[in-house]
């Protein structure tokens, strides 16, 4: 490969534009020009002019023709089945960490630097579920350690919590390249591992930060601005009781839209009242 640096202003401007748009990772060795016209498909020769040898052999008439599932779909559903089986076999969050370190069914792992599973206390009864690791989380292998995480810490402090009293995880355990939105297949393959964490912790309350985790776990289609502040029940396939869950605005969104902190504060007050109702407020203040 040619490693010379380019000083072509147009190339540099295009690169700057890509970085600003979030493409901050190279995921292939060879650049692909997606603006190039597709190569023209070879025209089929008229049947009477084609060389006999060039004609496709007719399938044997007795061979049954089975519709084939597209290869990608098959691989994705196999990975999901593996994810279900492996997650169910893990008996602690540290088991899950080892399982995920060995699991290759989520394509995000190939571009991420580190697995980013959880931070906080695996015995906590309050669980906070974000969306996906960003650049700093990817580097450190822990959720919510970048600027959004620092704001989350301040939000927790405001209601008497800190990381020793909560368990923090994400919908996805590897960073999507350039922080792009994850695909439904990437969410689906990570979900069994998130569900297993919820099952192992059996939390009394869930705080869902951001639309993606709220919509996925609560099976809703509305955006976060509609869902936030409204308590809902999260129903786990293997837990008897529903878990009260509060969707709220994502701290990364609050950093971009500080005026919305007022709404987030209302949500936090509501969460703190729920902590009192379920007997977690004293523990949060260290009295238990
Ligand atoms: N945003 C998230 O949703 N999770 C993180 O871990 C970091 C940023």
Report the CATH number that the domain containing residue 191 is assigned in CATH. Answer: 3.40.470.10
* Ligand 1 centroid distance, CA of 94 (Å): 20
pLDDT value at residue 149: 98
The closest-lying atom of ligand 1 relative to the alpha carbon of residue 136 is: 7
pLDDT value at residue 264: 98
* Ligand 1 centroid distance, CA of 182 (Å): 13
The closest-lying atom of ligand 1 relative to the alpha carbon of residue 116 is: 6
Look at residues 286, 243, 287, 246 and name the one whose alpha carbon lies nearest to residue 266: 246
> Is 240 among the domain residues?
yes
pLDDT value at residue 13: 65
* Ligand 1 centroid distance, CA of 134 (Å): 6
Look at residues 240, 214, 116 and name the one whose alpha carbon lies nearest to residue 172: 116
pLDDT value at residue 15: 62
> Is 52 among the domain residues?
no
Helix axes 211-218, 184-201, angle to 10 degrees: 70
Contact 188, 82 (CB under 8 A): no
The closest-lying atom of ligand 1 relative to the alpha carbon of residue 148 is: 8
> Is 275 among the domain residues?
yes
* Ligand 1 centroid distance, CA of 237 (Å): 25
d(Cα 188, Cα 83) in Å, to the nearest integer?
9
pLDDT, averaged per 10 consecutive residues of the chain (288 residues), comes to: 60 59 55 59 42 39 51 76 97 98 97 98 98 98 98 98 98 97 96 98 98 98 98 96 98 98 98 98 55
pLDDT value at residue 26: 60
Pocket mutation for ligand 1, best pick of 114, 120, 131, 135 (most atoms within 8 Å of C-beta) = 131
Q: Per-residue DSSP letters for 59-127? A: PPTTS--PPPPPHHHHHHHHHHHHHHHHHHH--SHHHHHHHHHH----GGGGT-SS---EEE-TT-SEE
* Ligand 1 centroid distance, CA of 136 (Å): 9
pLDDT value at residue 67: 53
Helix axes 184-201, 71-89, angle to 10 degrees: 10
Residues in contact with ligand 1 by the CB-under-6-Å rule are 130-134, 137, 143-144, 146, 148-149, 170, 210, 252
* Ligand 1 centroid distance, CA of 137 (Å): 7
> Is 1 among the domain residues?
no
Q: Supply the range of the domain harboring residue 101.
A: 76-285
pLDDT value at residue 65: 54
* Ligand 1 centroid distance, CA of 277 (Å): 28
pLDDT value at residue 7: 74
Pocket mutation for ligand 1, best pick of 134, 142, 248 (most atoms within 8 Å of C-beta) = 134
Contact 218, 231 (CB under 8 A): no
Total domain count, the chain: 1
């Amino acid at each position: 490969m040619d490693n010379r640096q380019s000083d072509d202003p147009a190339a540099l401007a295009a690169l700057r534009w890509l970085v600003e748009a979030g493409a901050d990772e190279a995921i292939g060795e060879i650049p692909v020009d997606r603006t190039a016209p597709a190569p023209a498909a070879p025209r089929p020769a008229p049947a009477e002019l084609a060389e006999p040898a060039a004609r496709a052999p007719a399938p044997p008439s007795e061979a049954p023709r089975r519709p084939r599932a597209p290869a990608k779909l098959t691989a994705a559903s196999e990975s999901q089945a593996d994810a279900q089986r492996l997650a169910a076999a893990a008996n602690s969050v540290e088991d899950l960490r080892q399982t995920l370190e060995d699991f290759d069914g989520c394509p995000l792992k190939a571009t991420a630097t580190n697995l980013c599973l959880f931070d906080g206390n695996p015995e906590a009864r309050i669980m906070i579920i974000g969306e996906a690791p960003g650049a700093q989380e990817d580097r450190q292998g822990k959720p919510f350690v970048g600027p959004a995480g620092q704001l989350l810490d301040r939000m927790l402090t405001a209601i008497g919590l800190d990381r020793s009293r909560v368990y923090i995880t994400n919908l996805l355990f590897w960073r999507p390249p350039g922080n792009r939105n994850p695909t439904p297949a990437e969410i689906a393959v990570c979900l069994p591992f998130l569900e297993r964490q919820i099952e192992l912790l059996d939390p009394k309350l869930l705080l869902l930060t951001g639309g993606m985790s709220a919509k996925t776990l609560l099976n809703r289609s509305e955006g976060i601005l509609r869902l936030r502040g409204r308590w809902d029940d999260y129903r786990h396939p293997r837990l008897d009781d529903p878990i009260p869950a509060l969707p709220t605005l994502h701290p990364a969104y609050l950093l971009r839209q500080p005026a919305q902190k007022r709404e987030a504060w209302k949500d936090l007050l509501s969460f703190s009242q729920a902590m009192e109702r379920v007997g977690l407020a004293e523990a949060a203040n260290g009295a238990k």
